[in-house]
Amino acid sequence: MTKRAITTEDFMSLEVFSDPQFAPDGTTYAYVSTTINDKKEYESNLFVQDLNEKTARQWTFGHHKNSNPRFSPDGTKVLFQSNRSGVPQLWLLPLDGGEAKQLTTFKNGAVNAEWSKDGKSILFTASLDKDDDVANQNELSKEELQKEKEEKSKQPLHVTNLKYKSDAQGFLDDKKAHIVIYDVEKETFTQLTEGDHHYSYQDISPDGSTILFSANLSEESDYELKSDIYLLDTATKAITRLTDGDGAYYTAKYSPSGNKIAYLGHKQQYLNATLTELYVYDVETKETVCLSEDWDFQLGDLMVGDTRLGGSEGGPVWSSDENKVFFIGSDNGAVNLYEVSLTGELKSLYQADSHVFGFSYHPTNESFVIGVSTPTVPCNFYLLDSKATVEQLTDANREFLDNVATSVPESITFKAKDGWDIHGWVLRPYGFEEGKKYPLVLEVHGGPHAMYGQTFFHEMQLLAAQGYVVLYTNPRGSHGYGQKFVDACRGDYGGGDYGDVMSAVDYALETYDFIDQERLGVTGGSYGGFMTNWIVGHTNRFKAAVTQRSISNWLSFYGVSDIGYFFNKWQHGYDLLDDPKALWDISPLKYADKVETPLLILHGELDYRCPIEQGEQFFVALKHLKKEVEFVRFPGANHELSRSGKPEMRVERLNHILRWFDKYL
């Protein structure tokens, strides 16, 4: 049977896995499955699977978002987060039968909960006003929430902080994220942090005497992009800073004995292009060792994709004997699972042409449940045992995979004009026939410090299904190829990075005789949108372009983006107040009169990362010059439109991309 081509709507039928969590006895694990329901809304539910069984059992039901499953240390209960009552709250599910019990009724919700090691307490984060009493919190009904939202929309926004908006959260208020502890036996809440700062809970010591959190407690925090790791005494609430205040530090974990702390971060030597380091702090000697000092790859998951929903553990996680630390890292277009000894010996535990998006470690069995995505399989869980044997546990999206054809990427490496090695991939079109010529679409990722690679990408597969050769690369500035490479685009936007993507096109045309050099298209979002705008202002080689959530004017970007006030300085070396002419010279808007390529501009109305005025300016300039241009504005959409935006808006976006390329290519 010939498999059919992928369609625009197919992403809505996919099941997306995340957050695997071993049960204490190591015989079962829980996870989160996210789908899109008949109402075209995201919903997520909890599942549990016995390692000896082929199918999983569903734990939660309904059109809600249930996530963050955490087994109690004795394995009798599961704590999870659910928005079924209106906002995210904490719920407790007994595993011997019975209904889930709601633990929190905080007005603004309770999130990211974890158990203490003895199971007597639960720690979580809550958004609180200065005078809130955690002992008397009452959530609003859905009707009251809606009324409050409507009333708030009628009030003026009084802004006093530099950081007053966020693409993820919209306009910010005076509430702060604080850490709260819940006594399971007494059923009481105690607020552990206070003041006019945000606190991010990390871990609690085995004896429960101290907790780890990350925060910026400086009086200048509104102007800084730093964070430190702190210790908080749970009895006295005394706070001790663990790191030096010279960078960004986060994701801290106690070793099983509590004698050591592993954490991630860096000193911002290359600002936001700095590779993440892994540190270990000795609680007794107060000495810190950097285990990753000699490495040259990025810790964590920097993969770009459009079918990942929900967070997962990425490390650091301690081994049971405290001699090793486990984590995932991004390298050469793949995300792998690693371990490092306390003497700095690095070992790959799972490395393939794939994307390890999360893992759970069981200390007794010395085994892992790992979540893996590949370019042709959206997601599955695997058991990686102590003997390095890999066993597939799930068979997600089987019906989809049995009926739909996917294109296998061909890895390419080519030389840029200045001799740098650039890595990328080519997808052949659906139903490929030798001797036939096909149009090509070049994709440019955002970031710029991110990474294309070995993961399932619906948009790429869709373009291939529509008869296009798809070319996607990791130009300089991308993660996965070392510190020098990821830093190479800073101060050189539109220079070497532009040369890299154009060299990719040259290489593809020289290598693949089935590409029609007269039918070339280009698209990209965010930084990729900037690059698309830059490309059409500097070459006429492309017959069609689609720019998404783009940047066209760095001068105005400085004042309108939620990151503009620092991003210009960090990426270009100057901002609006330092050198407006230099910013104008690297703004695609300056070259609008040179654009001859038909351009489609796609932008979300609520994008605060690359605000919609960036698209508006480019459209008006091009239209005023009587260029071939169209502008599509997506209501209610922020910067995440293509990844986690409203499903119906995602479909519209994809259809517009296909329409434009079909018209001109």
Q: Is 639 part of the annotated catalytic residue set? A: yes
CA distance 603 to 525: 9
State whether the Cα torsion 536-545-586-481 is positive or negative.
negative
For 250-268, give one letter per residue: b (16+ CB within 10 A) or e. Answer: bbbbbbeebebbbbbbbee
State both tokens at 409. Answer: 């990427």
Which of 356, 310, 311 is CA-nearest to residue 333? 356
DSSP character at residue 404: B
CA distance 326 to 340: 7
State both tokens at 96. Answer: 């011997």
Please pick, among 526, 552, 556, 561, the residue that the annotation labels catalytic.
Answer: 526
Please pick, among 407, 458, 639, 642, the residue that the annotation labels catalytic.
Answer: 639
Site of tokens 């007994």: 94
Site of tokens 């939660």: 60
Read off the amino acid at residue 542: F
Q: Yes or no: say if 93 and 80 are a contact pair by the CB < 8 Å rule.
A: yes
Read off the amino acid at residue 408: V
Q: Do you know the residue count of the chain? A: 665
Instruction: Using CB atoms within 10 Å of the CB of residue 86, give its burial: 0 to 12 exposed, 13 to 18 middle, 19+ buried.
Output: middle
Provide the 3-class DSSP secondary structure of residue 571: helix
Query: Could you give the maximum distance between any two Cα atoms of the chain, in Å?
Result: 76
Which of 627, 461, 464, 467 is CA-nearest to residue 533? 627
DSSP character at residue 141: P
State both tokens at 255. Answer: 């070793």
Q: Which of the residues are catalytic?
A: 526, 639
